[in-house]
Amino acid sequence: MHLMRHLLLRLTVSLLAAVIALGADVTGTWSGQMPTRDGEMRDVTFKLKQAGTALTGAMSAFDNDVPIADGKIDGDKLSFSVTLDFGGNSFKLLFTGTVKGNEIQMTRQREGTDLKQNFTVKRGS
Protein backbone atom coordinates (compact mmCIF):
# COMPACT_ATOMS: atom_id res chain seq x y z
CA MET A 1 0.00 0.00 0.00
CA HIS A 2 2.87 2.37 0.81
CA LEU A 3 4.42 1.75 -2.62
CA MET A 4 1.09 2.51 -4.35
CA ARG A 5 0.74 5.86 -2.54
CA HIS A 6 4.33 6.71 -3.40
CA LEU A 7 3.76 5.95 -7.10
CA LEU A 8 0.51 7.93 -7.14
CA LEU A 9 2.23 10.91 -5.52
CA ARG A 10 5.06 10.80 -8.08
CA LEU A 11 2.57 10.63 -10.95
CA THR A 12 0.62 13.60 -9.58
CA VAL A 13 3.77 15.69 -9.17
CA SER A 14 4.91 14.79 -12.70
CA LEU A 15 1.56 15.77 -14.21
CA LEU A 16 1.52 19.05 -12.30
CA ALA A 17 5.04 19.86 -13.50
CA ALA A 18 4.02 19.15 -17.11
CA VAL A 19 1.00 21.46 -16.87
CA ILE A 20 3.11 24.27 -15.37
CA ALA A 21 5.78 23.83 -18.07
CA LEU A 22 3.21 24.20 -20.83
CA GLY A 23 1.95 27.54 -19.53
CA ALA A 24 -1.29 29.18 -20.53
CA ASP A 25 -2.64 29.31 -24.07
CA VAL A 26 -2.56 32.98 -25.14
CA THR A 27 -4.76 32.49 -28.20
CA GLY A 28 -7.30 35.30 -28.28
CA THR A 29 -7.69 39.05 -28.26
CA TRP A 30 -5.72 41.20 -25.79
CA SER A 31 -6.32 44.95 -25.45
CA GLY A 32 -4.96 47.87 -23.50
CA GLN A 33 -3.13 51.14 -23.84
CA MET A 34 0.45 51.29 -25.07
CA PRO A 35 2.75 54.28 -24.52
CA THR A 36 4.13 56.03 -27.60
CA ARG A 37 7.69 57.33 -27.78
CA ASP A 38 6.29 60.74 -26.76
CA GLY A 39 4.69 59.25 -23.64
CA GLU A 40 1.12 59.49 -24.94
CA MET A 41 -1.12 56.46 -24.49
CA ARG A 42 -2.67 54.76 -27.54
CA ASP A 43 -5.23 51.99 -27.73
CA VAL A 44 -3.68 48.72 -28.88
CA THR A 45 -5.10 45.26 -29.58
CA PHE A 46 -3.15 42.07 -30.14
CA LYS A 47 -4.90 39.13 -31.82
CA LEU A 48 -2.71 36.17 -30.94
CA LYS A 49 -2.71 32.55 -32.02
CA GLN A 50 -0.54 30.03 -30.23
CA ALA A 51 0.48 26.69 -31.73
CA GLY A 52 2.87 24.94 -29.35
CA THR A 53 5.73 27.39 -28.81
CA ALA A 54 4.97 29.39 -32.00
CA LEU A 55 3.03 32.64 -31.78
CA THR A 56 1.38 34.40 -34.74
CA GLY A 57 -1.20 37.13 -35.11
CA ALA A 58 -1.48 40.86 -35.56
CA MET A 59 -1.25 44.13 -33.68
CA SER A 60 -3.94 46.76 -34.26
CA ALA A 61 -2.70 50.26 -33.45
CA PHE A 62 -2.15 53.59 -35.17
CA ASP A 63 -5.08 52.79 -37.52
CA ASN A 64 -3.23 49.76 -38.92
CA ASP A 65 -3.28 45.98 -38.55
CA VAL A 66 0.33 44.83 -38.55
CA PRO A 67 1.32 41.15 -38.55
CA ILE A 68 3.59 40.00 -35.76
CA ALA A 69 6.83 38.20 -36.62
CA ASP A 70 9.32 36.01 -34.76
CA GLY A 71 6.63 35.07 -32.23
CA LYS A 72 7.59 32.60 -29.49
CA ILE A 73 6.15 31.49 -26.18
CA ASP A 74 7.93 29.55 -23.46
CA GLY A 75 5.86 28.84 -20.37
CA ASP A 76 4.51 32.24 -19.29
CA LYS A 77 7.07 34.27 -21.32
CA LEU A 78 6.39 35.49 -24.85
CA SER A 79 8.18 37.60 -27.45
CA PHE A 80 7.50 38.92 -30.95
CA SER A 81 8.19 41.89 -33.19
CA VAL A 82 6.21 44.14 -35.52
CA THR A 83 7.51 46.36 -38.30
CA LEU A 84 5.75 49.71 -38.66
CA ASP A 85 5.93 52.02 -41.67
CA PHE A 86 5.07 55.69 -41.43
CA GLY A 87 5.44 57.50 -44.76
CA GLY A 88 8.34 55.39 -45.95
CA ASN A 89 10.04 55.34 -42.54
CA SER A 90 10.02 51.79 -41.32
CA PHE A 91 11.17 50.53 -37.95
CA LYS A 92 10.84 47.42 -35.83
CA LEU A 93 9.30 47.23 -32.37
CA LEU A 94 10.33 44.35 -30.10
CA PHE A 95 7.82 43.06 -27.56
CA THR A 96 8.35 40.78 -24.58
CA GLY A 97 5.75 39.81 -22.04
CA THR A 98 4.81 37.74 -19.04
CA VAL A 99 1.38 36.11 -18.91
CA LYS A 100 -0.35 36.40 -15.54
CA GLY A 101 -3.86 34.98 -15.76
CA ASN A 102 -5.93 37.25 -17.99
CA GLU A 103 -3.19 39.88 -18.29
CA ILE A 104 0.09 40.15 -20.14
CA GLN A 105 2.64 42.53 -18.68
CA MET A 106 4.38 43.79 -21.83
CA THR A 107 7.60 45.64 -22.56
CA ARG A 108 8.03 47.45 -25.87
CA GLN A 109 11.42 48.48 -27.26
CA ARG A 110 12.29 50.10 -30.56
CA GLU A 111 15.01 48.04 -32.22
CA GLY A 112 18.41 49.70 -31.90
CA THR A 113 17.51 51.76 -28.83
CA ASP A 114 17.70 51.23 -25.09
CA LEU A 115 14.34 52.86 -24.35
CA LYS A 116 11.85 50.34 -22.94
CA GLN A 117 8.25 51.09 -22.11
CA ASN A 118 5.98 48.91 -20.00
CA PHE A 119 2.24 48.42 -20.31
CA THR A 120 -0.43 45.79 -19.65
CA VAL A 121 -2.98 44.22 -21.96
CA LYS A 122 -5.99 42.20 -20.85
CA ARG A 123 -7.72 39.26 -22.48
CA GLY A 124 -11.02 40.19 -24.13
CA SER A 125 -14.20 38.35 -23.24
pLDDT tens readout for residues 55-109:
999 999 877 899 999 999 999 999 999 998 888 889 999 999 999 999 999 999 9
- Give me the residue spans of the domains in the chain: 24-123
CATH class of 24-123: mainly beta
2, with CB counted inside 10 A (0-12, 13-18, 19+), is: exposed
Total count of residues recorded for the chain: 125
Interior/surface letters 59-73, b for 16+ CB within 10 angstroms, e for the rest: bebeeeeeebeebeb
Q: Is the pTM of this model over 0.85?
A: no
Rounded-to-integer distance, Cα 75 and Cα 53, Å: 9
Rounded-to-integer distance, Cα 82 and Cα 56, Å: 11
